[in-house]
Amino acid sequence: MSRPKGRVLIVEDEEDIRMAVTAELSAAGFVVDAVGTLADAAGTIEAAGHACAVFDRMLPDGDALGFVDALRRRGWTVPVLFLTARDSGADRVAGFTHGGDDYVTKPFLMAELLARVLNLCRRAGRRPPVLRHADLEVDCARGEVRRGGVLLSLSAREFAILEYLATRRGNAVTRAELIEHCWDAEPMANVVDAVVKRLRRKLGHPDPVDTVRGVGYRLS
């Protein structure tokens, strides 16, 4: 079985469109979380790391523009495509200025939507050489971490975990994901938690790593 291309969030209240887009992306190899409201989207975002998100503009509980803009202000970096019937130039500009990365108007070609989602997922995978979060600086090229300008001494495994958390900043990362990306072989039980505990101790206070109960960890 081939590995999924990534996880995509679909937020669309029209059931026929939601089901059609879900089927298309699933057939293309994506894992899809499909919901119909902003409230449900908020719960899904907290529990899963997405490579891309597709939002209808006008939803039963509000305009997705304000929702995405608020997420951006909290450091959420997942690429967003707005899918909407609102096709004026002003609407497009608003989509981009409120955190959108792409904008597709209805009706649309499913093949075009798939191509745009693939492009956004590839863009998300292009990791910058230095990842910054608050006073943390993760230099991916040099394998160095600084906090408040002070160089920290981390093991290779601790660095790998922090680097991966930084790439998914604001998203919960499961222990299974950390094992897949930071270990060459399946570690013994509780090894992930033990390494994260050592990492937290070296990072100091305030602790930048949140424990997400029942899921894993997140860079707060």
What's the mean pLDDT in 138-151? 82
Task: Tell me, yes or no, whether 107 lies in a domain.
Answer: yes
Better-predicted residue by pLDDT, 191 or 3 = 191
Q: Kindly tell me if the per-residue pLDDT of 10 is higher than 80.
A: yes
What's the mean pLDDT in 54-77? 87
What's the mean pLDDT in 82-88? 85
pLDDT tier at 2, thresholds 50, 70, 90 = very low
pLDDT of residue 6: 79
Could you tell me if 95 and 150 lie in one domain? no
Could you tell me if 13 and 113 lie in one domain? yes
Alpha-helical (H) ranges within 2-63 are: 15-27, 38-47
Could you tell me if 82 and 155 lie in one domain? no
Q: Kindly tell me if the per-residue pLDDT of 197 is higher than 80.
A: yes
**Alpha-carbon separation of residue 21 from 17, 56, 69 (angstroms):** 6, 12, 24
pLDDT of residue 128: 58
Could you tell me if 15 and 118 lie in one domain? yes
CB neighbour list of residue 79: distance below 8 Å, 6 or more residues apart: 51, 52, 53, 101, 102, 120, 121, 123, 124
Better-predicted residue by pLDDT, 181 or 146 = 146
Better-predicted residue by pLDDT, 174 or 3 = 174
Domain range holding 209?
130-219
Domain count along the chain: 2
The CATH number linked to 44 is 3.40.50.2300
Could you tell me if 55 and 76 lie in one domain? yes
Better-predicted residue by pLDDT, 131 or 37 = 37
Could you tell me if 50 and 156 lie in one domain? no
Could you tell me if 136 and 189 lie in one domain? yes
Could you tell me if 25 and 50 lie in one domain? yes
Q: Kindly tell me if the per-residue pLDDT of 53 is higher than 90.
A: yes
- For the question of whether the overall pTM of this predicted structure is more than 0.85, the answer is no
Task: Tell me, yes or no, whether 195 lies in a domain.
Answer: yes
What's the mean pLDDT in 117-129? 72
Could you tell me if 65 and 136 lie in one domain? no
Q: What is the dihedral of CA 160, 163, 169, 173, to 10 degrees?
A: -10
| Each residue's pLDDT tens digit, 181-190 | 787 667 776 8
pLDDT of residue 36: 95
Mean pLDDT, all residues of the chain: 85
Q: Where is the domain boundary, 103, 125, 147?
A: 125
Better-predicted residue by pLDDT, 31 or 139 = 31
How far is the C-alpha of 105 from the C-alpha of 84, rounded, in Å? 5
> Residues, the chain, total?
220
What's the mean pLDDT in 156-184? 82
Could you tell me if 157 and 97 lie in one domain? no
